[in-house]
Amino acid sequence: MKPIVQISLDLTNIDEALETAAMALRAGVDWLEAGTPLILAEGLHGVRKLREAFPGVPIVADLKTMDGGYLECEMMGKAGATHVVVMERAHEETIRCVVKAGKDFGVQVMGDNLASPDMVEGAKRLEEWGCDYVIHHIGYDERRGIAAKGHRMPSPLDQLREVVAAVSVPVQAVGGLSLEQAILCPSYGAPLVVLGAPLTIDADAFKTADGNLEASLRLICEKIHAYGDVPAGKERAIKI
């Protein structure tokens, strides 16, 4: 599949999120993500506003679902989300419920292996239980906590090749990547490239980063899209 660039709107204000989303789409971003801070601040209202403003664009709702999987997926699907995120650490039945709701409401499911005891095995379980995509994720608190103790900060690139090799669905790497590392993700076999905190969003204030962000995003999108086809798993139609 061809690389896809996704921007994570890790913001707490819907007006700023809409402005950032419009700028990102002008720059060549393919998917929008209602990041967890935005969902906490604006909920279904925020997703509806994104859908109203951008009717033809895939929208990922980063719910990080741990329970109540069917209802959460249903609600976000009806609000306009095309993708939802469920955690591998949730009960197997929760993940299966999200997958069932995804089929019922035309939503694709992204399984997140954050905090899995074995990241590779966690990714394999997510595919086995029906997820359309795997998010290989090193958490914000985990990264900062380890770095504060003077240790090397972990990166999703550390095991990305292993995760990609273990599943047949497309993989996305998330967690503290530099711009240069994000651009390299397709070369690891991960076609879904997410840009967010701290790349395009201030990671501490959760506000849009200063500077000529649109020009920077355009350059990043051009580099990623120029990679060409990435051998990955199942390519499925996205229902908008």
Tell me if 237 is assigned to some domain.
Answer: no
Tell me what pLDDT residue 234 has: 41
Does residue 232 fall inside a structural domain? Answer: no
What does the pLDDT read at residue 178? 85
**Structural domain boundaries, residue 152:** 4-225
Q: What is the pLDDT of residues 168-215, one digit of tens each?
A: 999 999 998 988 899 999 999 999 999 985 456 555 655 556 667 888
pLDDT at 201: 57
- As a whole number of Å, the CA-based R_g of the chain is 16
CATH number of the domain residue 124 falls in: 3.20.20.70
Q: Is residue 93 part of a domain?
A: yes
pLDDT at 205: 59
Is 186 inside a domain boundary? Answer: yes
Asked whether residue 83 is domain-assigned, the answer is: yes
> By the 8 A CB rule, do 50 and 32 touch?
yes
* Residue 22, in any domain of the structure: yes
Whether residue 231 is contained in a domain is answered as no
| The pLDDT of residue 75 | 98
194 contacts 185 by C-beta, under 8 angstroms: no
For residue 238, tell me if it sits in a domain. no
Q: pTM for this structure?
A: 0.91
Q: Which ranges of the chain have pLDDT less than 50?
A: 198, 233-240
Contact 166, 142 (CB under 8 A): no
**E-assigned strands of the chain?**
4-9, 31-34, 59-65, 83-87, 108-112, 133-137, 171-174, 192-195
